[in-house]
Structure formats: structure tokens, C-alpha cells
Amino acid sequence: MELIIKKTAADIAKDVARHFVHFVEQNPKANLGLATGSSPLDIYKHIIYLHEKRRVSFAQVKTFNLDEYLGLVDDKQSYRFFMQQNLFNHLDIPLENTHFPDATKPEGYDALIAHNGGVDIQLLGIGSNGHIAFNEPFTSFSSYTHIVNLDEKTRKDNARFFRDMNEVPTQAVTMGLATIMQAREIILVILGDAKILALKQLFCMEKDESFPASILNEHPNVKVYTTMDLFKKTFCHKA
Ligand code: F6R
């Protein structure tokens, strides 16, 4: 893993967005793996800005999102809605090129990704418990796309996107850890004080299913982005 430390979250967003847009310029038929949540929001804003400024077309790009909730009371809380609002509606990407796992046939998602030639760059955030996508602690490292019961910790972390805790779904469908590991390149963005322990465990812990993100140590091409502030809070102890 390569650790890239930037001064601010805005600097990370610009760097990662430039990387994605440059890749699309070079590879107009790129397959992009995308995430939802707070961490990618500014990245998506900057991708939209670069798409307009540099006239980079996403018309032939295909996207594969990590996960989707089950049993939502309001479709506006779906990850599909989030992606439409924060990225897809602002690009020239056709709706049919944007993919999400389907709870009625989870394993079909791995086949779909493989059929399209695999994910070129996968964007990830991380949960405070070390989850990537919705692979909660003790998910098998050899898991493919599957349905999960969400951790209470994850439900509480995500409650900020819902009107009240009762609306936070208890299940989701998610790419598995083996699915994620098949991406040719992975970019993990770690932001916010709630992730201090996760950042530390990622670099200091041995590979262990109790901390799902630890599998990333085995991938040949992972870039981990964090801010100087978070790096210092994580690794520089006062004497
Ligand atoms: C989102 C996802 C999750 C988030 C993680 C961090 O599609 O799969 O793993 O990346 O929960 O979320 P934020 O960025 O909101 O802290």
C-alpha cells in the first residue's frame, strides 16, 4: 500500500478526481468502481468540474457501485439516488452504464463485472470498524457479492443520512472482499477523526478477518489518502 498524505481533504479530492478523469481521458471505455458516503463527495464535485472544464466524455464509461441498501422506506435514501444526485446527473454517462448490485441475484454482479472486463479503478471509503463496502468485521476474505446484516455501529454511523434511527436499514447487498480485490487499482480515502483507529489498524495490524480492510495489504496497487492532521493524530503520540 502506498500512503499519500495531503494537507487538506480538498487537496485529496482534487488529486483523486484528476486521477480518475485522466484515466478516462486515456481510456474512454474505463470501468470505474464507485463508493457512496461522505468521503467521496468532494471527489465527485471535482470530477464534474473537470468533466466540464476539460470536456472529458464519460459516454462510454461504465460504473459499478460497491453496495446498496435493502428495505428502504424512501428511495431518496438509496445509494442509486445518491449517485444520481452527486455524480451521474452531471455527467454524460448513460443510465444503463451505471450499475449497482441486485439483491435478487447478488452473484450476478460478479459475473457482470467480469463480463465487462473487470474494474479498472475502485474508489473506497472505510468504516470506523474497518468495513470496506458493507463487508463488516468477520466477513470472509473470499466473499463475492452477497447480502449482509449491517453492524449496529455501521447503522449508527450512517444514521446521519436518515430522519431517525428506525429508518436506517438493517440489510444491504455489497460487493465482497474478493470482488474488491479483483480491481486493478484501489484508492482508499480516509477522512475524519472517527477513522483514527481504522487508519492505525490498516497499517499496524496483521491481516485478519476481524478488520476487513486489512485484506488490502495483499493488493499490489492500493493508494491510501489521508490528511496530515489525521495522520498526526493517528501516529504521532505526545511524549
Ligand atoms: C459506501 C460504502 C461504505 C463507506 C464507509 C465510509 O458505498 O461502501 O463502506 O465507504 O462506510 O463512509 P463515509 O465516507 O461516509 O465515512
pLDDT attached to residue 41? 98
Atom of ligand 1 nearest to the CA of 154: 11
Active-site choice (31, 65, 97, 129): 129
E-strand stretches of 40-118: 62-65, 67-70, 98-99
pLDDT attached to residue 237? 74
d(CA 33, CA 110): 12
Nearest C-alpha to atom 8 of ligand 1 is from which residue? Answer: 133
pLDDT attached to residue 186? 98
CA dihedral in degrees (148, 30, 53, 228; nearest 10)? 50
Q: What are 73-128's pLDDT values in tens digits?
A: 888 999 999 999 999 999 999 999 999 999 999 999 999 999 999 999 999 999 99
pLDDT attached to residue 141? 98
pLDDT attached to residue 53? 97
Atom of ligand 1 nearest to the CA of 192: 16
67 catalytically annotated: yes
pLDDT attached to residue 26? 98
Atom of ligand 1 nearest to the CA of 124: 10
131 catalytically annotated: yes
Least confident of 123-132, 154-163, 178-187, 193-202: 154-163
Q: What angle do CA 116, 118, 124 make, to 5 degrees?
A: 125
Task: Say whether pLDDT at 187 is over 70.
Answer: yes
* Residues 160-185 as b or e (16 or more Cβ within 10 Å = b): eebeeeeebbeebbbbbbbbbbbbeb
Give the three-class secondary structure for 121: strand
pLDDT band with cut points at 50, 70 and 90 for residue 9? very high
Ligand 1 midpoint to CA 65 (Å): 11
pTM above 0.85, yes or no: yes
Task: Compare 153 and 187 and report the one with higher pLDDT.
Answer: 187
46 catalytically annotated: no
Task: Say whether pLDDT at 142 is over 90.
Answer: yes
| Arithmetic mean of pLDDT, 144-172 | 93
pLDDT attached to residue 74? 85
Neighbouring CB atoms inside 10 A of 113's CB total 23
Biggest alpha carbon distance in the chain? 56
User: Beta strand pairing status for 67-70 and 171-174?
Assistant: antiparallel
Cell of 220: 499490489
pLDDT attached to residue 238? 64
Ligand 1 midpoint to CA 136 (Å): 11
Ligand 1 midpoint to CA 133 (Å): 6
Give whole-number Cα distances, 41 to 12, 76, 149, 232, in Å: 11, 17, 25, 23
22 catalytically annotated: no
Which of 134, 162, 224, 226 for mutating ligand 1's site (highest number of atoms within 8 Å of CB)?
134
